[in-house]
Amino acid sequence: MIDPYLSDWLNLLARWFHIVVGAGWIGTSFYFNWLNNNIRPPKVDTGEGVKGEVWSVHGGGFYQVRKFQVSPGQLPETLHWFKYEAYFTWISGICLLTIVYYLGADRFLLDPSVSDISAGAGIGLGVGTLVVGWLVYDMMCRSPLHKQPVAFTVVGFLLTTAVAYGLSQFLSPRAAYIHVGALLGTCMALNVFFVIIPGQREMVDAMEAGKEPDPDGGRRGALRSLHNNYMTLPVLFIMVSNHYPITFGHEHAWAVLAAIALLGAGVRHWFNLRGKGKKNVWILPVAAVGIVSLAVVSAPEPIELPAEAVAFAEVHTIITQRCTPCHAQQPTHPSVVAPPKDVVLETPEEIARHASAIKTQSVDTRMMPLGNLTNMKDSERAVIAAWVEAGAKVDH
């Protein structure tokens, strides 16, 4: 196993980098989307082939952007491409996936209460999902299905949900989530690498050779761009939800994921419609009602509590055995070097202060103890629940 201190630093650096380049990628993608929605035909046709233009003001300067469809008559000296944001987001994402889930397989990738596959099998399943998932998606885009957006969306959605369900039978719930996110992210990045950029390259090459560019390359790229556009919000949700066990900790976490993906893509659709100047009054209210219903439906079920009142001493013993190996000023568990998330559960006061988080983590979502590495029993979870429900009192 990799040294936990080193692993934490690598984790932090990869995450930082991932967020920075990801923000760059999504920022440019939102910006170009906005441009396409706001570009209007020029008032005066200069005969240069300008299809649309837009004026904006930002940071103390005025900008005029002009769009040429399919191409400007002549290539400028410097043409800016947008691709490294996508590539680096993907590469850093894969690094992060490896650091957190593959090097820390026993803690984050696997969950003995889900299945007892080996770390190797879990990693194979994760990587296999990304590879096969991309191949299937790419095939769908090349098949006649792509001409039917509704059918394509339904099939894509069902397949993604099936992947979430399948993974949740073998991997920890959190790992199942992140792999669905990684699969969508992989499709987005490979769309850029294999289709969008080569299509643009063909157009540029044709122009350099003095030929009229084949609009087909541009059209294929536009389809993938549209898919990327719809995938952005669900992917961001999945990445952030990784820090919220209320989502992936649910018994049918894959269904929660499917619902959120649908809502996220729906909201994106509303933005796209609005951008085209089409009014839609029902998508946002439906999405809002949907999210509230989801929160209600997926709320943790009350568990059966022990009949008699629980003494704090009993809680203290359980926490000391099951949690404090990691959650201590000086953890004794080999997988951590410092108390995770700065949660220290040693003194009665510390335990009382974190009472509700303790219940969320160890009872409602069962995310703690991590990978159940300290073998916490269900009866012990019930004791914790009873103590917190009764007001989390510390008697001396």
Report the interface residues with ligand HEC, using CB under 6 A.
243, 322-323, 325-327, 333, 335-336, 340-341, 343, 354, 357-358, 361-362, 368-370, 373-374, 376
Contacts for 214-222 with beta carbons within 8 Å, 24 or more apart? 215/70, 218/70, 220/195, 221/195, 221/196
Separation of alpha carbons 217 and 283, rounded Å: 33
State the nearest-atom distance from the C-beta of 369 to ligand HEC, in Å: 4
Separation of alpha carbons 141 and 221, rounded Å: 11
State the nearest-atom distance from the C-beta of 323 to ligand HEC, in Å: 3
Q: Tell me the one-letter amino acid at 205.
A: D
Q: Tell me the one-letter amino acid at 122.
A: G
- Using the structure block, give the residue that is written with the tokens 């649309």: 52
State the nearest-atom distance from the C-beta of 90 to ligand HEC, in Å: 22
**Closest CB to ligand HEC among residues 263, 326:** 326
**Closest CB to ligand HEC among residues 92, 160:** 92
Q: Cα dihedral angle (201, 205, 210, 212), rounded to 10 degrees? A: -40
State the nearest-atom distance from the C-beta of 324 to ligand HEC, in Å: 8
What sign has the CA pseudo-torsion 95, 99, 103, 107? negative
Asked if residues 107 and 371 have their Cβ atoms less than 8 Å apart, the reply is yes
Asked if residues 344 and 358 have their Cβ atoms less than 8 Å apart, the reply is no
What sign has the CA pseudo-torsion 169, 174, 175, 181? positive
State the nearest-atom distance from the C-beta of 22 to ligand HEC, in Å: 19
State the nearest-atom distance from the C-beta of 317 to ligand HEC, in Å: 12
Separation of alpha carbons 58 and 286, rounded Å: 34
State the nearest-atom distance from the C-beta of 271 to ligand HEC, in Å: 30
**Closest CB to ligand HEC among residues 11, 28:** 11
CA 374 to chain centre: 29
Q: Tell me the one-letter amino acid at 35.
A: L
**Closest CB to ligand HEC among residues 268, 354:** 354
**Closest CB to ligand HEC among residues 129, 172:** 172
User: Among candidates 385, 378, 375, which has minimal Cα distance to 325?
Assistant: 375
Separation of alpha carbons 369 and 333, rounded Å: 12
Other Cβ atoms within 10 Å of 395 Cβ, number: 7
State the nearest-atom distance from the C-beta of 385 to ligand HEC, in Å: 11
**Closest CB to ligand HEC among residues 215, 348:** 348
**Closest CB to ligand HEC among residues 238, 326:** 326
Other Cβ atoms within 10 Å of 361 Cβ, number: 21
**Closest CB to ligand HEC among residues 7, 232:** 7
**Closest CB to ligand HEC among residues 138, 346:** 346
**Closest CB to ligand HEC among residues 326, 386:** 326
State the nearest-atom distance from the C-beta of 248 to ligand HEC, in Å: 11
User: Among candidates 314, 307, 303, 313, which has minimal Cα distance to 362?
Assistant: 303
State the nearest-atom distance from the C-beta of 368 to ligand HEC, in Å: 3
Separation of alpha carbons 206 and 197, rounded Å: 14
Separation of alpha carbons 280 and 319, rounded Å: 52
